[in-house]
Structure 1
Amino acid sequence: MKKNPTLIKFHDTDSNTISHYYDYAVALNKIKELLIQRLGNGLKLCTTDVGIEEVFVTIEQLLERNDPDIEVLAHIYDTVGTTTINQTDDEKYKVTPSLTNNIFYFPAYKVAIVRVPIYQSHSDYIQDFIFNNDDGLLLDFLNYCIEKQRSFMLDGITVLTDTEEGLERSREQVTHQVHREDVLLDEDVKVNIFRSIDEFFSEGGSFYKEYAIPYKRGILLYGSPGNGKTTLVKSIAGSVTAPVVYWQITEYTNSYSIKEVFSTVTKMAPMILIIEDIDSMPEESRSIFLNTLDGATTKEGIFLIGTTNYPAKIDPALINRAGRFDRAYEIKQPDERLRKEYLFKKGLLQFITDETLDNLAVQTKGLSIAQLNELHMSVALEWHYEKQVNVEKIVKELQENLKKTIKQDWESEEYVGRLGF
C-alpha cells in the first residue's frame, strides 16, 4: 500500500498561521491546493443539504473490497486516526482507511469527497464536503454510488436500527436459505403472497404498468408468535433479486429516522422493506409514519411487509386505507395436516413409527411451529442419550407449558422453589 501525504502537520503550525489547529477552513484550503493539481483551476467546493450518508456507505464497502474505482489521495491531520479496525461478515478483523480524515478521489468522475473532523471549544463534529469541476459528472457520480450500493445490498440483508445516536446501519448474510417449499402455510395464502411478490419484481413491474396500477404494495402478516411469520419473511428475502431492508423499530424511532429510512429505501427501489413488530411504533411517531406512507413518491417501487403478533394493537388506519397495507394475511396456528407435514420434514420418522407420527399430529393440537420444533429437538436429544424416547411425555410437558403461558400461571407446586439463583 502506497504511503499518502499528510497535508497539515502539528509541528508546522503556530498561532500566526492558524488560530486553532483544527480550524477547518485551513484544512479545506490545503485540500483544494492538492486537488487543483488533479482537477485544474476549475475546482468547486460543494456542500449538500440532503445528506450523503449513502455515499459514505458505498465508500466504506468499496474500501473493504479494494475497489480500483476509488483512491485515497492524502490524510488531513497527522494527529487524527487514518485507519479503522472493522469486522467482516465472516467475523474476521480487517483494517481499512477511516471514512474521516482521508481524501477519497474517484478519477472516472473527477470527484473528491472528504469528511473533515472539526474540533472547537464548544463542540466536536464532522462535516462532509465534495470537490468537483463538472456538475454533470458529479450527478453521474451520485447515481453511480446509488447503483453500487444497490448491488452491494443484494449480498445479504441491510438492517436499519433506530438508536439513541440515530439510525444505525448493518448488514447480515443469509446463512441459511429458507426455500419456499419449506414454508408451511395455508396454500391459498402462500400462493397469493408469493404471486404478488414475483409479479412486483418481474420485468421492472410491467404488470403494474400494463394495468395502470400504482407501483407500490404493502402486506401485513399477523398471528400468534412462533407460527412462521419470520420464516416466511426470510424465504421472501432470500428468493428475490432485489435489495431487502429490515427496519428495526425501537423506542427511539422518531420523525427524523422515519424520514431517513424512507429516503434511503426510495433511492434503492425497486426493493423490499420489512418492518417486524410494527405495533411497537411509538405512539408519538405513528401519525408521521402514516403520513409518510401516504406520500406520493415515498413508496414508489417499494414492497412493504409488516408483521405483528398483536393485531389488536395495530392502528386501524394502517390497514383500512389503500396505499398503506393493501392486504392483511393471518398466519394461523398449523392445523393437523400442517403439523404432520412439519414433523415429517424435520425427520421425526428416524425416531418413531408412522403410526406414532399420525398420533402426534393429533396430540399436538394448539402447538405453534416453534413448539413443534422444540418437540423435534427434545425427541432427538432423548434418543441420542437413551436410544429410546417417550414422545407422549414430551408432548404433555409442552402442552402444560403452553397452558401456563396462556394463563401466565407459573407457580404450581411442581415449580415452587425451583426457580431463582
Structure 2
Amino acid sequence: MKVLFSNEEQFRELHPNYEDFAILTRRVIKLLNENYEGNWQLVDIGDHIIQLDNSLIEMMENELIQYKILGNIYEAKPLSKIANKSSLSMESKLEIVSTFENTVILFPEYQVAVTMAFNFSGGNAWPEYFFFSTSPEGALYFLEEINEKLRELLMQSVTYLVDTEHGVQRRKYGEQAAVQREEVLLENHIKQDIFRSIDEFFNEDGHFFKEYGLPYKRGILLYVPPAMEKQH
C-alpha cells in the first residue's frame, strides 16, 4: 500500500508537527530492523494496548513468553524502574522490574514490539503506547495468543481485590501453593454455587471473549458484613 508521508523522508520544513511525531517511530523502527529485519509498522489495537501492559509484564516475570529488551528511547527519561516485582503478589518486596516505559521490548516469536514513550510537539509532551508489528495479521495472532496465555495464567490462581492504604489493589493467591476445593471455608450450598459457576464458565469455548479481545476470566465477589472476621 502506498504511503504519502514515508519514514524514509524528512518533513521538518514542510510539516514540522508531523516530523515531531515521526522522529520517534522512525528511530524505533530503525532499532527493530537492526534486531529483526521486516516491514515494521505501527498497528492500532485500541484499548487492548493498556490491558496488555500488566498482562505482558506478568507473563514476562513468569517466563511464559520470550522477549528481548532492545533499549531505551530518551536518555533524559528514567532508564529503569524499581517497584514491587508483581502488582498481583501479596509480597511488597522492592526489586528492579521490567517496564514498557521509555523502553522498547521485542517479542521475537510473534514479530511484535511494544513501548510507552513521550511525544514532544509544539511545547507539549504526553505519554503514549506504541504497538509495532511486521503485519496486521501477525498483530492479531499475537493478541489471540496472549489472551489464551492469560486465561491459563488466571486459572492457576485466584485474583482478588484488597483495600489497602494506597487504595484498592489487585492481589493474587495461589502462586506458591494450590488450594483444594475442600479447603475453602464456606457453607456448602454457597461453595457449590460458586464452583458450578466457575466450571460452567470455563467449559465454554470463550468465543465471545476471544472475538472481542477480552481476557477470558471469571470474577467472584464475596461480601461479609462489617465486624465479622474475614480470613484468606
TM-score normalised over the length of structure 2: 0.66
* 1:139-189 Cα deviation digits (max 9, x unpaired): 111112212222332344334689xxxx9763322489585366353x5x3
Name the Cα RMSD after superposition.
4.4
Name the stretch that deviates more: 146-155 or 74-83. Answer: 146-155
Output aligned runs, 1:329-348, within 5 Å.
none
Q: Distance in 1 between matches of 2:59 and 2:184?
A: 36
Out of 50, 54, 75, the position equivalent to 1:53 is 50
- Identity level (%): 17
Q: Distance in 1 between matches of 2:215 and 2:53?
A: 15
Aligned to 1:108: 109
Does the CA-based 8 Å contact 2:162-2:171 persist in structure 1? no
Does the CA-based 8 Å contact 2:68-2:106 persist in structure 1? yes
Largest Rg, 1 or 2: 1
- Across the two proteins, how many residue pairs are aligned to each other? 206
Shift of 1:39: 4.5
Residues 50 and 266 of structure 1: is their aligned pair in 2 closer, same or farther, counting only changes over 3 Å? Answer: closer
The one-letter code of the counterpart of 2:103 is N
Aligned to 2:126: 125
The one-letter code of the counterpart of 1:30 is R
* 1:223-282 Cα deviation digits (max 9, x unpaired): xxxxxxxxxxxxxxxxxxxxxxxxxxxxxxxxxxxxxxx99x98233x321235xxxxxx
Shift of 1:70: 0.6
Out of 80, 84, 93, the position equivalent to 2:81 is 84
Residues 194 and 154 of structure 1: is their aligned pair in 2 closer, same or farther, counting only changes over 3 Å? Answer: closer
Aligned to 1:146: 147
Residues 86 and 65 of structure 1: is their aligned pair in 2 closer, same or farther, counting only changes over 3 Å? Answer: farther
Structure 1 runs not aligned, ≥5 long: 1-14, 207-214, 216-261, 277-306, 311-367, 374-421
Does the CA-based 8 Å contact 2:60-2:66 persist in structure 1? no
* Structure with more relative contact order (C-alpha pairs < 8 Å, separation 6 or more): 2
Q: Distance in 2 between matches of 1:275 and 1:195?
A: 13
Structure 2 runs not aligned, ≥5 long: 1-11
Residues 97 and 79 of structure 1: is their aligned pair in 2 closer, same or farther, counting only changes over 3 Å? Answer: farther
Does the CA-based 8 Å contact 2:77-2:102 persist in structure 1? yes
Shift of 1:43: 2.2
Richer in helix (by share):
1
The one-letter code of the counterpart of 2:29 is K
Q: Distance in 2 between matches of 1:141 and 1:42?
A: 16
Q: Secondary structure at the match of 1:105?
A: strand
Shift of 1:50: 3.1
Shift of 1:45: 1.6
The one-letter code of the counterpart of 2:133 is N
